[in-house]
Structure 1
Amino acid sequence: MDNKSIEINVQNNIANISLNRPEVFNSFNRDMALSLQHHLDECENNSKVRAILLTGNGKAFCAGQDLKEVTTPELNPGFKKILEEHYNPIISKIRSISKPVIAAVNGVAAGAGANIALACDIVIASDKASFIQAFSKIGLIPDSGGTFFLPRLIGFQKASALMMLGDKVSAAEAEKLGMVYKVIPSEVFSEEAVKLAEHIALMPTKALAMTKELLNNSMSNSLEQQLDLESKLQIEAAQSEDYAEGVAAFIEKRKPNFKGK
């Protein structure tokens, strides 16, 4: 596994994960896809990690699949492996991991790169970022959960048009459509992304994990099923150390010290 294709640094309870193939706009090859999965698993099992910040080194967030890999016979894993062993597991891990995952989209996010960002819990974008459902331009269909998340984020009609036409969406337009939480000026983007991650890492992350579970289930649950799950998880949250600390801090008029327990 090529560990250089992904950089990871754990500090202040945050795992900073950077896609690190800037010379090809952080496009994915097999080593990079497997390495990202490995690091996500490490983060899930590391109690010191309470939030994950995913970004890209260089000018791009991620340009999707490295087309050189799929057009070089001795390198090409084939689309079955690429989907079933690369992208699908990445999306599943982002959604199932019990830590909040923030996508800090610093530049272009195209194809699978865009859809990996949209699968994250919170998406922030530099004002120089852009999003492209680039698949139709080369005769492919959107993958990496794009057909699941994008219609839910921006509506069926807009998602259909963006996927079929392959239009580039600016950061400002992405915010207007509801694809991203916030756009941040590029000159302070890295610092603000870290501040956001530090802030969320100090929150009651056990409750945030339950919130994530509820949101995941809301995609398929009926209202009655969702209400039942809310009841179950709220009872569990009310028994947590973080709840006790939050109430005590409120009564004592002080800042809470949450531990994610």
Structure 2
Amino acid sequence: MTDDLLSSDTGGVRTLTLNRPHRRNAIDPGLWAALRGALTEAAHDRAVRALVLTGAGGAFCSGADLTAAGDDHRHPLDKVRDLNDVAVLLHELPVPTVAKVTGAAVGAGWNLALGCDLVVATPESRFSQVFARRGLSPDCGGSWLLPRLAGLQQAKRLALLAETIDAEEARSLGLVTWVVPAEGIDAFVSDLAGRLALGPPVALGQTKALLNEAAGRTLREALASEARAQAVNFATADAPEAYSAFAEKREPRFTGRWHRQPPSEDTP
């Protein structure tokens, strides 16, 4: 981890904080690399049950840092692949993710927020697909995420006009999940992420993957994937734990541990 990306763990929740407030958390090559490493680590750390992505200093992220010095010998396509790696890792992370947005979320920064499963913003938050103003087209997954979340026409409007919208409009378009007063967002996200972290980790990972992949599947394909996911879920200790907790009128304690039923006497 570098000073530009802070990481902290509380109760199964890992919080990654973009920490370049002097640049409104614009992401330079070093920070892209740090994000890639942090997301890879989180994907393989069983102690991580939920992930929060946020920014320091009153902004979420103003996008890629176009002023950052880099390796001039690298082809631009190679540089964009750094963004692509982060977008894929965030999308495929097997735990629920929450974007906590205060201030600006612009360009690739907004698309990082959209790549999270849930987005919490303050009324002061502002969002823009700024690319057209820079002579560019969307990256970091924006061309895939926007139509799926807001519909094709609204996606075209946001990308072609590069308008800035506020949090309430973003929420009305399905691009923000909750708008919470600034003084309450820390507590709201802490409670939300804590509840996600207490959920059944394997089942939540299966659910996230099913929903992410559903748009490209037929109903029959989705049903087949659901059946496979349920088979995975029933092989954990969480399903019987849920039944026991219900019968005993208590909260379940989910662990995600592998659980195999002992062979019955009827097993040949």
User: TM-score band, normalised by the shorter chain?
Assistant: over 0.9
Letter in 2 for 1:238: F
Letter in 1 for 2:19: N
Q: For residue 260 of structure 1, report the CA deviation from its aligned partner.
A: 2.9
Q: Distance in 2 between matches of 1:44 and 1:155?
A: 30
Contact kept in structure 2, 1:203 and 1:260, CA below 8 Å: no
Q: How does 1:75-114 map to 2 (within 5 A)?
A: 78-84=75-81, 86-114=82-110
1:196 equivalent to 2:214? Answer no
1:12 corresponds to which residue? Answer: 11
Q: Distance in 1 between matches of 2:134 and 2:238?
A: 49
1:209 equivalent to 2:209? Answer no
Q: For residue 75 of structure 1, report the CA deviation from its aligned partner.
A: 6.2
Unmatched 5+ residue regions in structure 1? none
1:151 equivalent to 2:156? Answer no
Q: How does 1:55-70 map to 2 (within 5 A)?
A: 55-69=54-68
Letter in 1 for 2:171: E
Q: For residue 73 of structure 1, report the CA deviation from its aligned partner.
A: 7.2
Letter in 2 for 1:9: S
Aligned match for 2:183, one of 187, 207, 210:
187
Q: Distance in 2 between matches of 1:79 and 1:128?
A: 34
Task: Using structure 1 for the length normalisation, give the TM-score.
Answer: 0.94
Write the deviation string for residues 169-204 of structure 1: whole angstroms up to 9, x where unpaired: 111111111111111110111121111111110111
Task: Using structure 2 for the length normalisation, give the TM-score.
Answer: 0.92
Q: Distance in 1 between matches of 2:73 and 2:117?
A: 31
Identity %: 35
Q: For residue 67 of structure 1, report the CA deviation from its aligned partner.
A: 1.5
Residue 73 and residue 195 in structure 1: after superposition, are their counterparts in 2 closer, same or farther (change >3 A)? closer
2:132 corresponds to which residue? Answer: 136
1:42 equivalent to 2:41? Answer yes
Aligned match for 1:222, one of 214, 218, 223:
218
Write the deviation string for residues 148-182 of structure 1: whole angstroms up to 9, x where unpaired: 01111011111101100111111111111111111
Contact kept in structure 1, 2:12 and 2:49, CA below 8 Å: yes
2:264 corresponds to which residue? Answer: none
Letter in 2 for 1:139: G
Aligned pair count? 257
Letter in 2 for 1:110: V
Q: For residue 79 of structure 1, report the CA deviation from its aligned partner.
A: 2.6
Q: Distance in 2 between matches of 1:165 and 1:54?
A: 27
Q: For residue 214 of structure 1, report the CA deviation from its aligned partner.
A: 0.7
Q: For residue 228 of structure 1, report the CA deviation from its aligned partner.
A: 0.5
Contact kept in structure 1, 2:29 and 2:70, CA below 8 Å: no
Give the 4+ runs in structure 1 shifted more than 2 A.
Answer: 72-79
Write the deviation string for residues 217-254 of structure 1: whole angstroms up to 9, x where unpaired: 21322221111001111122123211111111111111
SS at match of 2:3: helix
Q: Distance in 2 between matches of 1:82 and 1:184?
A: 35
